[in-house]
Structure 1
């Protein structure tokens, strides 16, 4: 009798586990309420039994798509998407059946970085109560990736798609929300999906594949200089990439928004580090998607005067080194007393204006800050040229943040005068100017703007 009972238990267990193994399963981001990138081909994937036949139908297309699970229980199907719209359904059938409801076709963006990207309205935001109350946008969908780290690349993340409401918006990335809101309004309610995968206090290196860093001596040396221990986050290269980015690779996106750099303060090669991150992510997606980032804000760092501006200048230089990128400068909307500026709305809006102009060809006027282009000397006088310089002006009576150095490399305060859309700079202490810098201090807040009201980026450069 005992043997019969054991035999029956074994059969039941086999049936249960057999069915469980056979069931189609999907990554967390293929779910109800999701947004798929419109007007393209998207890949949908999951797991099932080897040789299990999988059929997929979507309510916006007539065709049925089929494949089978491979010997590693993996399958994938590519399907076309059409113009913006929804809600739609996706039905995936094998030994079991999965139906995804309330699916939208629109624009999908991935947000990442450290605490200023992670920062939510519930954590503290300018005008938070009114912003939360107004956050009823059924066509905006939000997905927050749960914090995880791993030594090895993972297959899935934790999280779920949520319709944007006051209840969901207040716990989502504020920068990501204001970006999505601006896009939604300008694109006339095209559905916007935003995936937030960020973690406060992280260095850029933990978001880059470890082998990529190991194979680049500049990145590898820079990685040794970041904090090696933290109570708040992983510190080893690749750990959040493996768990929070690698599983997303292949989910079709329009681009990435990045807000990070405070933990990498004082890195003069941050442009190489962030450039490596961009290249490694684009390689993982096999896609040269847009990558827009926020120049870190002025802040009173301990132990020096220049750690923050060194990173800001590296971020500026990256624009000339990596294609399909853009940067927003926020030195005019931040406070140098708080490493977490609470005025996130203009940050998201400026990122959105970059995307609207570059990705969606909307006429938003000037969407980038004045950026150093060249400096030429004629005797003591230096003429400084900027990109995005239309309507160059100061909100004070004069520009006060220029400094000039001669052959000895010692910088002296300089006088600066506006001449059309250029700046004429000179210093009585420097007879033969060789170098020039602007807003070169951790807490420097720009006093030079273009006609769009965007502040000029800090810089240091050689004089021709």
Structure 2
């Protein structure tokens, strides 16, 4: 493992109850004496030297235990959602040149990582949930390392040769409020009631019961507007419904691959099945192996089950009272929340519930009909077993490590909060200040990644990536923060872009400049102020000392300008005297400018150090999209 250098590093554990425990680190041979509590628990701090090693620490409560291969260096907490969780060689598609990166990792044994297990809890925990313990970087272990964290550490090590310990505390698809303490969240009205309900004894069962009620209400609300429903009955699920004009589709397949491009929302599927005489009146089991995203399934017009999980096998019981000999109808209404959708994975079949040898294959031709597009659908309730509940991840995965001495935090998260970007302007600084208070480090460095360019097709319709990036930009107002802009290294159709090397490098450059005192440019241009002269807006930037640059072309792209009517027009922009001058023939009296204000923009403003400018807006208008 790695312990933080030049500090009083906390260590804790269990030993013989009531005994004297002697702890001796090999770097100074100082013997620490601790009285073990009656419950067997103990905790102390040991003085650590400047970086180096490897060292040993011995523990003796009458029985000797020695930990070896301990390095003294810098410990960084690496947290966030899937883009920080994404590993070097697998999970979410891997990274660029991953095979070569795995080979090269053998040179970095001074980088170590521990993975905190993904857990939630309703009360703050003390025991650290470890998925796997401290691992030394090599060509095997690095495969499971967080890629961003590893490349961050590698850059710092290449420059400073300081051992780096990485606490991998990540969970894909999670929201910021789940990582924030209840005491902090109670200051925000939208989270206060939930936190108080937990303190009042709310249980997981209570949440699940309420979730099932919410799902039922959500399905009923969809039924009210669904053309497949009439007079509170699933008309499109009835055997005698006339579906002769419906098109055909061979299942399993994503419906985009069957010619239904750019359609998200609900789609009904129907298939007539001939039931043998000896099956009549018997319970059956309908097996639908994979559906993207949710479904409600029917047999002879009656609902037999619904599932609100992505690509999760469905095994629905068909009550015998619905089963008759001869023709029966299976209908499935699929809800696709973005990206690919449909009944996409087989096998598909129906069988006698008590005898799997009696099976009818349902793969092949079905008929289908579009119903409600995504913009006509309400968002479904949050999954009952989801970690995305306020403070539950914090309780299980952050609170237990608060005693561990760390150098700072790197954070990559935000995509899951993009449908509440305005809220994030308060929530994200709250999280940062909360962690600083709880770690008892008011100046704790907190460096984060601004979410990358992406077309956001699998996000909720309300997702607002430009505003989320703007909320992240505003967090730089907090001291001891830094932001790695990645608006130029995302992938339009991949929410997990593979160039994690550059993400880690940009984070490391911030740390090298701010914490290791290297004289280097660590940020791209950040909007500072605007000056309006006639029909032009003149923009000034910080972090432009190395010069503003138009990368790739002579002219600047992705600038927009508006007058008092708040109607934005594509603008002409150029660099003059290390400022950006913006204008448009469509706007004679400009008021505001926005830059890279799309989910997947193509702006090209950089500084001389090759770092991109952050997207920004000069106005404070809300609910305006280009």
For residues 17 and 380 of structure 2, the distance between their equivalents in structure 1, rounded to whole angstroms, comes to 45
User: 2:549 is paired with a residue of what secondary structure?
Assistant: coil
User: 2:548 is paired with a residue of what secondary structure?
Assistant: coil
Is 1:165 aligned to residue 138 of structure 2?
A: yes
Residue 283 of structure 1: which of 429, 437, 444 is its match? 437
| Long gaps (5+) in structure 2 | 196-377, 621-626
Residues 49-105 of structure 1 deviation map (CA, whole Å, 9 limit, x = unaligned):
553222111001132111212355432211111111111111122243322111110
- In the alignment, which residue of structure 2 is the partner of 1:82? 49
Tell me how many residue pairs correspond in the alignment.
426
Q: CA deviation at 1:308?
A: 0.9
- In the alignment, which residue of structure 1 is the partner of 2:530? 375
For residues 462 and 614 of structure 2, the distance between their equivalents in structure 1, rounded to whole angstroms, comes to 17
For residues 328 and 368 of structure 1, the distance between their equivalents in structure 2, rounded to whole angstroms, comes to 7
- In the alignment, which residue of structure 2 is the partner of 1:194? 166
Residue 272 of structure 1: which of 404, 413, 426 is its match? 426
After superposition, where does 1:66-145 map in structure 2 within 5 Å?
Answer: 66-70=33-37, 72-123=39-90, 124-136=94-106, 137-145=108-116
* C-alpha contact (below 8 Å) 1:222/1:269 kept by paired residues: no
After superposition, where does 1:228-247 map in structure 2 within 5 Å?
Answer: 229-230=382-383, 233-247=386-400
- The structure richer in strand per residue is 2
For residues 398 and 221 of structure 1, the distance between their equivalents in structure 2, rounded to whole angstroms, comes to 51
User: 2:389 is paired with a residue of what secondary structure?
Assistant: coil
Q: 1:228 to 1:327 in 2, by over 3 A?
A: farther
Residue 250 of structure 1: which of 386, 399, 403 is its match? 403
After superposition, where does 1:281-360 map in structure 2 within 5 Å?
Answer: 281-287=435-441, 288-302=443-457, 307-320=464-477, 322-360=478-516
User: 1:112 is paired with a residue of what secondary structure?
Assistant: strand
For residues 222 and 373 of structure 1, the distance between their equivalents in structure 2, rounded to whole angstroms, comes to 39
Q: 1:410 to 1:135 in 2, by over 3 A?
A: same
For residues 309 and 263 of structure 1, the distance between their equivalents in structure 2, rounded to whole angstroms, comes to 14
* C-alpha contact (below 8 Å) 1:132/1:169 kept by paired residues: yes
* C-alpha contact (below 8 Å) 2:23/2:33 kept by paired residues: yes
Q: 1:417 to 1:218 in 2, by over 3 A?
A: farther
Residues 265-309 of structure 1 deviation map (CA, whole Å, 9 limit, x = unaligned):
131231321111111111111012100000001111236597111
For residues 116 and 351 of structure 1, the distance between their equivalents in structure 2, rounded to whole angstroms, comes to 14
Q: 1:220 to 1:340 in 2, by over 3 A?
A: farther
For residues 345 and 233 of structure 1, the distance between their equivalents in structure 2, rounded to whole angstroms, comes to 30
- In the alignment, which residue of structure 1 is the partner of 2:120? 149
* C-alpha contact (below 8 Å) 1:112/1:259 kept by paired residues: yes
- In the alignment, which residue of structure 2 is the partner of 1:176? 149
* C-alpha contact (below 8 Å) 1:309/1:440 kept by paired residues: yes
Residues 392-444 of structure 1 deviation map (CA, whole Å, 9 limit, x = unaligned):
11122311211122112111221111102100111222232222111111111
Is 1:431 aligned to residue 588 of structure 2?
A: yes
For residues 177 and 337 of structure 1, the distance between their equivalents in structure 2, rounded to whole angstroms, comes to 25
State the 4+ residue runs in structure 1 displaced beyond 6 angstroms: none
Residue 262 of structure 1: which of 398, 415, 422 is its match? 415
- In the alignment, which residue of structure 2 is the partner of 1:387? 542
Q: 1:35 to 1:329 in 2, by over 3 A?
A: same
User: 1:100 is paired with a residue of what secondary structure?
Assistant: strand
Q: 1:233 to 1:121 in 2, by over 3 A?
A: farther
- In the alignment, which residue of structure 2 is the partner of 1:3? none
| Long gaps (5+) in structure 1 | 1-33
Q: CA RMSD in A?
A: 2.2
* C-alpha contact (below 8 Å) 2:194/2:390 kept by paired residues: no
* C-alpha contact (below 8 Å) 1:138/1:164 kept by paired residues: yes
Larger radius of gyration: 2
Q: CA deviation at 1:216?
A: 2.3
